[in-house]
Structure 1
């Protein structure tokens, strides 16, 4: 920072003091510009304050105060949401108050020890009614006009109860293994989980739509004040105010730099000779939301580069002949920055099918030999899955749910067409993707595939398997990843993690590298991804082809 404008009479110490003041001012300005409140994504913390007790559990909003339960003291506090100051305090009728909900001018209190709901009048400080619950471990409570939502963390179930007597209206499986807090924002439920440390937005029939990290290690109580989510954290003894939604469509975290080497090798085991060998290599994109290609060196240098009908750049390496007992290799060494991508998909923000650009429709609703979208079974199943649904998000989610529940993962070799996968009920990652894309296109929803490599275990590792997944075009969001090959048996949260996120594509992993985008058959890669080799031969030839990625990720 220049200080040449200072008067010459200033001493060195005075000059340094001025410099330090300017640095501090600059730091304050930068801190404001880059603060979470300015760039807050869904789940961003806007403010916080300490809880009055050290065992905070339930949280509720009555339109004026935040009501906070403390399980150790057995007390209920009314808090000013601006600064957390205690406006009122009284003993809870429950010996171990857990969930709180506000409805019809009364405070509903769940007792985690006795499994009882108390209906409490905060004005008269009297318990008006109480009733025993079905579940053994009541935690969070949330009011919904005409219903009371309850979380049972031992059964991993969310119940909807008649608030008058606790009789059951509905129930479904909780998002993950240890649900705790719950609130209702007028349309969706929000549920915190102690083990995953995530807060989930779910539909009122139990479908997990999105999630974000909880602000602390043990989120016990949730409340909705009409604008923001409020979260009690049992371990931090803090109440957090969080953003529910934002204009940001996605976030990328955990950026890391990596070296990736790709090799495609062709061996001629004889006795004949291979001729006119060509290796077509999918060139990784220069930039994606969560990937930046810093440099790439091919070995050998490609004879040419071209672009296929789907916009995929392809390097072509030619070898005139490969004699018996010889082998050739082609590939690259790439340096890249990769991160974990997470979309925040709000169904109400997704546009209509009519909002999809014409060029996307014309390109990604066409048929293909692996799709067979004109097949009666594909068309019939698509109609059955979709029903009367018009929202592109829910169309994609219904198809995704159908494929993961009806296609068991099995890599049996070969890539059969979608109608065969539908009939057989098993398939590899590519075959599940073919079926998913076929059903999406039959339903009028543009879809394509994306492919590449992921880190298999250790940061320095070899990936022989590679992976292909799908992308769906959601208007007002763009291309969003869906992995339909995760198979059945997952929790609701596990299913949702395969939608709009890259950190679990192909299974949980610390890194993913995208090489290929395609909508169908490529004039260079065929239905392959990463690479493809062609050749002719004289006499009989036994050919072995292999390809792999070598990952080298420096430790942080």
Structure 2
């Protein structure tokens, strides 16, 4: 039986409309599983679903999805990369590149390579092909199929690409990055961190209504979720996975003078609260409890900080704000909640320095040598193991960027990540071969300082990195620390501790080498994050013996594009 419509003949439906903001709107095509290619032609945004073999036309304003090859989906299954030139559709599958037309979806072989192909782009008479295993962007003549030249791939993962004028734009799923390259020389002009993981395709698309051009990136991964199993009423909840794929604008602002690129950012609310919950009955008098506050950086702007539970006074330590909570007396069974809440803007940042930029540098100042080349935190810098590791790590290298990158890779080769209840000194951790982020940091600090590179610890927390979960309190399970190293004549730049140690034996991504994603909260650079003092404080009592901490993030909204005027 057909259900009758409740609309009378001739009656129209007025669609619900809200303020459309294409610059921050996520596109979620219907019925798709894994998008692995994007292309733009005229006012159409096209996407490739490699699981179903769909070539899709997607409406950026309302997610309306149309299959353009309904009778030829088998021919595009397992395809990746997508390019359109005139009436030709180009794609890759396995180790080959094919093309077909919009009228006839019959793949025609263009070229076969020894290894799997990841992406393809076409510009006039030239075809660009990415191959992760070969490590190159291979460039062919479109008419003859002959290879013209090749460029090194900028990252280590599977890479897709598109072309805009004289620029090659590459996305890398492992590096979580997009690279802008010179199409003639293959030189990387700058790179951009993406707000989501696993970018799988990209295209520049001009909106027909506004005339504005946006760089769209598609993402393809899996996510874990709790499934309600109706066939198991006694234990109905189970952990399983599902495909997650969508399209989102990638914004970037390249400051050539300051040598960094900013990308998509978010307005965050972060709170850090201590709850007095002592393991032992320890009465304290004239207690001062110091907690560092978020700092302003090139990628992070603190808009507001307010106290929670109790008022605090502020003091400045090495140019950074610290909240000081004072207690005349803290009784053994006393209950207290205190801390701060901050409103801040955070973005992804990538510093654009090359080895050539750091060949000739001024000497490190005496002040920095005294502060940042010493063992001030149980770094075991005088032990034979750490001194030998410092020499072995850099060999004969003299360039500061190559030195710090070799040190990082040396540590990655010898360490695997693992959580421990306490942090051991670098010699113990390096000998064991397993360590937490804090132990990675200790080893990196020791080896870098012994090689004359000023560096310091930075932290302290990461917002759970899912921008879709806005307005929901998010609670990270662990704290996190990384380092900053100092380039004389330029300044401090970040380097992640253990996060890029993702492949046994390498090659290791450099996404967070001189870069940080949007979800890092920078609190306390080279100073203690938290410290307590009292005249009657026993030496063996730590903060963890006295209190439990509570950390909460809330993603409020995505920020306007970086570099935009306030009115935009």
- The residue number in structure 2 matching 1:292 is 301
2:374 corresponds to 1:361 = no
Q: Output the CA distance in 2 between the equivalents of 1:553 and 1:172.
A: 34
2:178 corresponds to 1:176 = no
- The residue number in structure 2 matching 1:152 is 131
- The residue number in structure 2 matching 1:422 is 430
Q: Output the CA distance in 2 between the equivalents of 1:171 and 1:250.
A: 22
Counterpart contact for 2:130–2:138, Cα < 8 Å? no
Q: Please list the CA deviations of residues 384-419 of structure 1 after superposition, one character each: whole Å capped at 9, or x if unmatched.
A: 221222211111111122223322222212222111
Matches within 5 A, 1:228-239: none
Matches within 5 A, 1:173-252: 175-179=156-160, 192-193=171-172, 198-199=178-179, 211-212=191-192, 218=201, 246-252=256-262
Ranges in structure 1 where 5+ consecutive residues have no aligned partner: 1-48, 56-67, 76-93, 98-111, 117-131, 143-148, 222-231, 236-241, 504-509
Q: Please list the CA deviations of residues 152-173 of structure 1 after superposition, one character each: whole Å capped at 9, or x if unmatched.
A: 36x5754999xxx99xx99999
The structure whose Rg is larger is 1
Counterpart contact for 2:259–2:351, Cα < 8 Å? yes
User: Between Structure 1 and Structure 2, how many residues are aligned?
Assistant: 405
Matches within 5 A, 1:488-527: 488-490=501-503, 495-503=509-517, 511-518=519-526, 525=528
Q: Secondary structure at the match of 1:495?
A: coil
Q: Output the CA distance in 1 between the equivalents of 2:434 and 2:475.
A: 27
Counterpart contact for 1:115–1:135, Cα < 8 Å? no
How far residue 483 of structure 1 moved from its aligned partner, in angstroms, is 0.7
How far residue 548 of structure 1 moved from its aligned partner, in angstroms, is 2.5
Pick one of 470, 482, 485 that aligns with 2:483: 470
Pick one of 488, 497, 505 that aligns with 1:484: 497
**1:497/1:553 CA distance change after superposition, 3 Å:** same
Q: Please list the CA deviations of residues 29-88 of structure 1 after superposition, one character each: whole Å capped at 9, or x if unmatched.
A: xxxxxxxxxxxxxxxxxxxx989xx99xxxxxxxxxxxx99596599xxxxxxxxxxxxx
Pick one of 366, 387, 393 that aligns with 1:379: 387
- The residue number in structure 2 matching 1:17 is none
Q: Output the CA distance in 2 between the equivalents of 1:389 and 1:291.
A: 33
Pick one of 459, 463, 483 that aligns with 1:451: 459
More helix by share: 1
Q: Output the CA distance in 2 between the equivalents of 1:552 and 1:312.
A: 24
Q: What TM-score do you get using the length of structure 2 for normalisation?
A: 0.57
Q: Output the CA distance in 2 between the equivalents of 1:389 and 1:191.
A: 30
How far residue 269 of structure 1 moved from its aligned partner, in angstroms, is 5.3
How far residue 251 of structure 1 moved from its aligned partner, in angstroms, is 2.8
Q: Secondary structure at the match of 1:134?
A: coil
Q: Please list the CA deviations of residues 248-292 of structure 1 after superposition, one character each: whole Å capped at 9, or x if unmatched.
A: 41133334433322212322355553444331111333x211222
Counterpart contact for 2:440–2:498, Cα < 8 Å? yes
- The residue number in structure 1 matching 2:78 is none
How far residue 500 of structure 1 moved from its aligned partner, in angstroms, is 2.1
How far residue 428 of structure 1 moved from its aligned partner, in angstroms, is 1.5
Q: Please list the CA deviations of residues 434-469 of structure 1 after superposition, one character each: whole Å capped at 9, or x if unmatched.
A: 111111111111111111222125442223522211
Q: Output the CA distance in 2 between the equivalents of 1:209 and 1:370.
A: 40
- The residue number in structure 2 matching 1:19 is none
**1:73/1:263 CA distance change after superposition, 3 Å:** closer
Q: Secondary structure at the match of 2:556?
A: coil
Q: Please list the CA deviations of residues 274-328 of structure 1 after superposition, one character each: whole Å capped at 9, or x if unmatched.
A: 444331111333x2112222232335233x55444x5544333232333332223
Q: Output the CA distance in 1 between the equivalents of 2:361 and 2:480.
A: 29
**1:311/1:251 CA distance change after superposition, 3 Å:** same
Pick one of 390, 408, 413 that aligns with 2:421: 413
Q: Please list the CA deviations of residues 333-381 of structure 1 after superposition, one character each: whole Å capped at 9, or x if unmatched.
A: 2232332222222222235454444433332112224222232222221
- The residue number in structure 2 matching 1:395 is 403
- The residue number in structure 1 matching 2:58 is none
- The residue number in structure 2 matching 1:370 is 378
Q: Output the CA distance in 2 between the equivalents of 1:292 and 1:211.
A: 22
Q: Secondary structure at the match of 1:485?
A: coil
How far residue 432 of structure 1 moved from its aligned partner, in angstroms, is 0.8
Q: Output the CA distance in 2 between the equivalents of 1:536 and 1:392.
A: 46
Counterpart contact for 2:267–2:557, Cα < 8 Å? no
**1:386/1:74 CA distance change after superposition, 3 Å:** same
Pick one of 553, 556, 559 that aligns with 1:554: 556
Counterpart contact for 1:296–1:334, Cα < 8 Å? yes
Q: Secondary structure at the match of 1:349?
A: helix
Counterpart contact for 1:258–1:552, Cα < 8 Å? yes
- The residue number in structure 2 matching 1:461 is 474
Q: Output the CA distance in 1 between the equivalents of 2:188 and 2:416.
A: 22
Counterpart contact for 1:194–1:219, Cα < 8 Å? no
Q: Output the CA distance in 1 between the equivalents of 2:285 and 2:202.
A: 64
Counterpart contact for 2:254–2:262, Cα < 8 Å? no
How far residue 484 of structure 1 moved from its aligned partner, in angstroms, is 1.8
- The residue number in structure 2 matching 1:283 is 293
**1:425/1:535 CA distance change after superposition, 3 Å:** farther
Ranges in structure 2 where 5+ consecutive residues have no aligned partner: 1-39, 47-82, 91-96, 101-106, 123-127, 140-145, 205-214, 219-251, 559-568
**1:270/1:447 CA distance change after superposition, 3 Å:** closer
2:330 corresponds to 1:322 = yes
Q: Please list the CA deviations of residues 213-263 of structure 1 after superposition, one character each: whole Å capped at 9, or x if unmatched.
A: 79x995699xxxxxxxxxx9999xxxxxx9999434113333443332221
